[in-house]
Amino acid sequence: MPVPPFTALADSLPETVPFVGPEALQRRSGVPLRARIGANESGFGPSPKVQAAIAAAVADVWAYPDPEGYELRAALAEHVGIEPDEVVLGEGIDGLMQLAVRLFIAPGDPFVTSLGAYPTLNYHVAGFGGVFHYVPYSGVHEDLGALARKAHETGARMVYLANPDNPMGSFWPAEDVLRFINALPETCLLLLDEAYGETAPSGVVTEVDTDRPNVLWLRTFSKAYGLAGIRVGYAMGNRRLVRAFERVRNHFGVNRLAQAAGLAALADQDYLRQAVNAIADARKRIGDIAEANGLRPLVSGTNFVAVDCGRDAAFASAVLAGLARQGVFIRKPMTPGLDQHIRISAGPKRQLDILAEALPIALQDAQSA
């Protein structure tokens, strides 16, 4: 019996998952996972105070969460120096991206992004029928000038920029990002992804200016706060932009535990500083391991390090596969020009010890292939 017909747009889309998780890789290979250092999670985990807040909230999971997420929104607004109705919560940055695309991209609308940038946003743009216009990276940086020019050339409805960048870990100073914002068409929405803002050097994260009508700042508790598994992110911007999310969002999407965790995480800035320091130490250790094996680590403002394997994409893929055979999960960029790199997430000492043991073996296997 035939199934009811999909929409023409849905029927044209492939069945895909933007990121293959380590769980799926383990199921396919049968190799036990020894080091999970590929998804840019924080292996240092959340604050003990966050864990206690989650435990205390468990008894109330019979009740729906506050659909407005008011307490967390108010706390975030106070933390940033804006108003609560200039903040919207979502199921991580990914959930907020989907809503932003739904609000601003109709079938056929032009969308500008860097070739090789965060693929989940592209998944959502494709799902709503947007037309892609890609700008190559300039070296290992997203090309701000080229992105602005492409936005003008195409009449883009939306432009995406991550600062610091995923997958390369590179970053632009805030003043350069501000010049980029000023160079965009007024009718073009900028999604400014600052997921790695807490781990960025001083002077990189931009000040949230809610008077700007065409910028949405996206931030998350998934990275430095160690809450990737609970899915809570937030967008900030002009009141008219933010209030528009009330037209389309899942009002119970940020669950009761997530809201409690976000509140506790935000309140424990001492732990955040400890986590950021631990991430910085882990980045240095990853760089040391890479250099000890003749590879070149890139400067990173994130909780991962991109490492140049010094040869071509096939060699970098072989290194990735060699690590996977040893139960070490990492990822790599797939776009030409970036694909000679592998990407290693910051993690605790025991996980990086495993990397230090496994990488020479993976490199030897790759060189012999």
Residue 132 and residue 35 share a domain: no
Indicate whether 119 belongs to any domain: yes
CATH number of domain containing 305? 3.90.1150.10
Residue 212 and residue 299 share a domain: no
Residue 284 and residue 162 share a domain: no
Residue 294 and residue 175 share a domain: no
Indicate whether 334 belongs to any domain: yes
User: Which domain covers residue 91, as residue numbers?
Assistant: 48-267
Kindly report the CA angle at 336 between 193 and 204, in degrees rounded to 5? 25
- Identify the domain boundary among 213, 246, 267: 267
pTM: 0.96
Q: Which residues touch 187 (CB under 8 Å, ≥6 apart)?
A: 155, 157, 214
Q: Which of 69, 60, 111, 75 is nearest to 249 (CA)?
A: 69
Indicate whether 4 belongs to any domain: no
Residue 286 and residue 258 share a domain: no
Residue 263 and residue 178 share a domain: yes
Indicate whether 143 belongs to any domain: yes
Q: What is the DSSP string of 31-53?
A: PPP-EE-SS---TT---HHHHHH
Q: Which of 110, 299, 301, 277 is nearest to 196 (CA)?
A: 301
- Identify the domain boundary among 230, 248, 267: 267
User: In 3-state terms, the chain is what percent helix, strand and coil (to 5)?
Assistant: 45, 15, 40
Residue 285 and residue 256 share a domain: no
Q: List pLDDT tens digits, range 112-157.
A: 999 999 999 999 999 999 999 999 999 999 999 999 999 999 999 9
CATH number of domain containing 87? 3.40.640.10
Residue 188 and residue 263 share a domain: yes
- Identify the domain boundary among 206, 233, 267: 267
Q: List pLDDT tens digits, range 328-368.
A: 999 999 999 999 999 999 999 999 999 999 999 999 999 98
Residue 130 and residue 187 share a domain: yes
Domain count within the chain = 2
The mean pLDDT values, 10 residues at a time, for the chain of 369 residues are: 89 87 87 95 97 98 98 98 98 97 98 97 97 98 98 98 98 98 97 98 97 97 97 98 97 97 98 98 98 98 98 98 97 96 98 98 93
Residue 182 and residue 52 share a domain: yes
* H-only helix segments in 247-348: 256-267, 269-292, 313-325
Q: What is the DSSP letter of 141?
A: B
Residue 321 and residue 293 share a domain: yes
- Bridging pattern class, strands 158-162 and 131-135: unpaired
Q: Please report, rounded to a whole number, the percentage of residues in the chain having pLDDT higher than 70.
A: 100
Residue 179 and residue 34 share a domain: no
The CA distance from 53 to 290, in Å, is: 38
The CA distance from 114 to 121, in Å, is: 11
